[in-house]
Structure 1
């Protein structure tokens, strides 16, 4: 997809800078909100209660100041019915951006516009990820199932391509369906996994580049990919493991772990009497169980890739690059001039 290999330096580095910029924007947006506003948006419904009064009482009890009127104004200013328990990151980012931009352009009258503009911005970002992920996932599904039934690995076969695509669409289709039927589902389920999964993918890409360097006989340059891979994989795997730890009573830990959130919410479920609160608590439990299962799957897949990378690199360094499973299978390089002549 690039004209020259050297162009990837600018593309790769530029993409990294843009990715970092998005992260900085998200942090700035979160910091713009006061602690009381932040916890009103990001605390689960099971602890905030059913209205702004109980939510304000809870937030004040943990040491931050906010009034029921301020909680109500958060929603009314941006044209929403409520902003309580809008966890997942997207509403926080949109609200922070709104707090900043409405002071530059439009004033209070345009707060609703800026909020929904930011939500749309995030939705388009996710849409492109779903588009690329579905196409990539189709190839992965065909390759995996091809180990069971060889003809299924033929990516040019229309029937098998459709079946593999439907499997991928069913995966994100469930999240789409849950977002429509469950106020706490959809992107609110998927978003907490983005941080770990996104950087795990970066680590896997670095491992792939490491294997390619070994296959090319350029092991002495492999430190360029190995060093960042070690850093990225240690931080992301540690974060993922924290998300899978059971409840231990520590507020910070229990707020991070999907398993702990599900356990603590389940413990409080028996004391709830309001049907709406019960329904929200059940949704929180269900969505965090899904997150925990997916997070565990990501960890297992990453560990397998790490083990295989080490195994292949050791085999290649001992002269086994062209033996059996490790035989080079890359397409032969074709000079650009051949295409120009054609």
Structure 2
């Protein structure tokens, strides 16, 4: 596991409503930011080089979740009502393929290569594995209590169900291991892995507990107690740490992947409803829906910087692929605030992106807000 060096990023200040101009030449899909809403069957595509909306995909149904494919050239969107996945050409905005599913795709995950989808219907307790180009579907039934799933870097699928974690061989659909967390901690509501593939993190929200399973020896589970309740966990892209809101969003904890202990707990001025990371994991970005603010943490000094008011409810966010900007969807206005991390400012607010925006995804990379 490589040891990164955390950089310094200072406070984000100011707002701007400067309009963007359309891009004359064909944009590079690797620069795309995708914005979707569960209230409008449209996915907007922003070029992070110009902050212009360069295309829009009009879908046959409402997207439940979206994920980027093929370095931003394509996008997949799940439609739970129609039991269908849509594969979209990101440049033209056209729907290239529609894939029927045997279950409602409430949860969608894409593997590291972008060549395998996992969809889940928690009510049915079923997972299906399918390819973007179609073909045979592997069904994994009898997963009562299913709440979350994630692909490990080695290609295995981790499925959280009740207080247990199933490890699935995606080539066969067989469960190769069934790991148990402490039943007293309650159900696992989220499972995530560090990008280096060393650990699986299982979140027990009400009890404020992380169960950590070493993926090379998952029987040796460890338990990390935090101030309950906790929010959604976010691993750093360099596998150095994970972050999680604690004490009902009043603070953010950093858990070192070297020690698997809490290395810092940073009080926040407003309730944190979502977390993100920017500029090579050197700054944490916390969204507060209730306060309509964006808060930043300088991860070198482990200190909270001044909250920034934004013109709307910050619902979700994601960094640009180069990490220099952070895009925040304002769900009540259909706008997107663009944070220029290097120059410590909100450089632009993009108008008329998509009504009720609730998901933001970068073409490449991780560190999106939940």
By percentage of residues, which structure has more helix? Answer: 1
What TM-score comes out, normalization by structure 2 length? 0.26
Question: What TM-score, normalized by structure 1, do the two folds share?
Answer: 0.27
- The structure with the largest alpha-carbon Rg is 1
Higher strand share: 2
Query: Higher RCO, 1 or 2 (CA under 8 Å, sep at least 6)?
Result: 2
